Structure 1
Amino acid sequence: MARWLVFCISLLCCAQALSAPLNVLVGQNKPPYIRLEAVSGYEIELLREVVRRMGHEAVFIFVPNARIRPLLESGNGDIASLQPDLADETGLFFSQPYIRYQNVVVTRSSDELTVQHPADLAAKTVIAFQGATKVLGADYTDAIRLNSQYSETVDQRAQVDMLFSDRVQAIVLDRNIFTFHQQNNTAPAAVTMHEVFGSTLYRAAFRDPVLQRAFDRALLSVVLDTWYQQLQLKYFMQLNQQLPNKFYCE
């Protein structure tokens, strides 16, 4: 009887351990991906569902992007959202891509500007998202290096406001972020989106390879579910999150 009691207690402890909350490190306010005031948004709901299918509850910790990796490495988080260029570094284990950012150049259609290459931004007034020069490639960095009319901001709503108020000629940001702020702008204008950049894929990073593999299994389950398409339509009003996944083929 005593042995059976010990066995049952052990099973209970294991179950509790498996269902323990996981701390998820993500960036700060970035609608429609992250909305701090309601702890919601596309990225938040997606990660919450993946972690739920892993058998855990997600507890979100919102921090500046520059602090995400150090916090994860120091043990202050179980899962972290990181860009793919870190995937080759040692010490962490990375999931399959779970989110796709699509940065574009947006101009007013009435200006009839031609932007087919980052070099076309060299002589224009441009405001981009903070850190754009770190993720948009060498051609972009070279194009704006000597542009005294170039700036970056963390306030992406302000980017859209400045474009519509004719204070800048072009803005650089994710297409879904632009659409969100365009819909909430009081004086929107017709725009042209110039697709001169590739997509930026984000992965989930882990210290524990067992958690990483569990995340990949749960992510694949989500991607194959109609829930995934409904989530995209809810926040983006279109399906634009096609992702590469080595565990999935058409």
Structure 2
Amino acid sequence: MMTCLTVIYITCSSGTKAAEKLTVAFGEVLAPWVLAESNKGIIIEIFESAVRPMGFEVEHVYLPYARRINAYQNGLVDVTSDINLNTIQGHALKGFFSDIAYTYENFAFSLHKRHFNFSHMNELKKHSLLSWQDAAIHLGAEYAQMVKSHAQYSETFDQSNQVKMLFLERYDVVQMDAQIFAYYRAKIAGSDGVDTTQRVDSFPLFGDSPNGFMFRTKKMRDDFNVQLKKLKQTGEYAEIFARYTSIPPESFVPETKP
């Protein structure tokens, strides 16, 4: 018995040290960037692949954008996603901002039969517009100024609802990332009487939206940046995108007007 106990003690003592948990706040309805039901998605895989060599296990927390910010500010999570310089300034966030980890490409989407032809975001003030939560801060001063005087502007944390509202003609225009739009357009096709086969026009009025993560410690942020760079150099970064879309992140272009 003593021999058996000794073997068990040695085995346990020499075993691999358990990974330290890192609590991270991700978006709630943000496919294909975040798939909360399976703990998968582009953003999650980028983050997990970067921190795994650092010895961390990710504990996922899924929250709407405003609650993610509150959770980070109140010390309930170690890291939060979807951060850029606008959100850092707008919410007075304290911490250490990573290098850019991914980039959203936001477009204004409208039904083709409406025959809109937007060339500047101020033209959207004439039409009902549904955007995503905290866009007025995230997208910068020009966008914030436009929506401040927009009488028919709303935001929602559920981006699948944006797609539904467009095809149900509840809103003239929705503003969202191209890959998110494409994902939910395919997912809700034929459901709830939503005709997603209608032609859609898209307008690149907002430019790219580069994002990263906010960390509580400088060392963790610096180590993450090193691993993120390696992901990009080895090709694993591109492979992550390829698992969720056949179109490379830098060249995704949705359906546009002829």
What's the TM-score bracket when you normalise by the shorter of the two chains?
0.7 to 0.9
SS in 2 for 1:21: strand
Q: In the TM superposition, what is the alpha-carbon distance from 1:145 to its structure 2 partner? A: 3.4
The farther-off stretch of 151-160 and 190-199 is 151-160
Q: Distance in 2 between matches of 1:90 and 1:172?
A: 25
The farther-off stretch of 35-44 and 82-91 is 82-91
Alignment correspondent of 1:212? 221
Alpha-carbon contact 2:128-2:171 (below 8 Å) kept: yes
1:95 aligns with 2:98: yes
Q: Distance in 2 between matches of 1:90 and 1:79?
A: 12
Alpha-carbon contact 1:232-1:241 (below 8 Å) kept: no
1:127-206 equivalences under 5 Å are 127-184=130-187, 185-186=189-190, 187-188=195-196, 189-206=198-215
Q: In the TM superposition, what is the alpha-carbon distance from 1:162 to its structure 2 partner? A: 2.0
- Identical aligned pairs, as a percentage? 25
Distance 1:208 1:71, change over 3 A: same
Deviations 1:114-156 (A, max 9, x none): 1111111111122111222222333333333343332222222
Alpha-carbon contact 1:92-1:207 (below 8 Å) kept: yes
Q: In the TM superposition, what is the alpha-carbon distance from 1:65 to its structure 2 partner? A: 2.5
Alignment correspondent of 1:62? 62
Q: Aligned Cα RMSD in Å?
A: 2.6
When normalised by structure 1's length, the TM-score is 0.81
Distance 1:195 1:214, change over 3 A: same
Alpha-carbon contact 1:28-1:62 (below 8 Å) kept: yes
Alpha-carbon contact 2:84-2:138 (below 8 Å) kept: no
Q: Distance in 2 between matches of 1:32 and 1:23?
A: 21
Runs (5+) with no aligned partner, structure 1: 1-11, 243-250
SS in 1 for 2:154: strand
Distance 1:20 1:197, change over 3 A: same
Q: In the TM superposition, what is the alpha-carbon distance from 1:71 to its structure 2 partner? A: 3.6
Runs (5+) with no aligned partner, structure 2: 1-12, 252-258
Alignment correspondent of 1:8? none
Q: Distance in 2 between matches of 1:124 and 1:105?
A: 11
Alignment equivalent of 2:108, drawn from 99, 105, 110: 105
Alignment correspondent of 2:9? none
Alignment correspondent of 1:41? 41
Number of aligned residue pairs: give it.
230
**Aligned AA for 1:46?**
I
**Aligned AA for 1:16?**
K
Q: In the TM superposition, what is the alpha-carbon distance from 1:33 to its structure 2 partner? A: 1.4
Distance 1:113 1:53, change over 3 A: same
1:222 aligns with 2:220: no
SS in 1 for 2:126: coil
Alignment correspondent of 1:83? 83
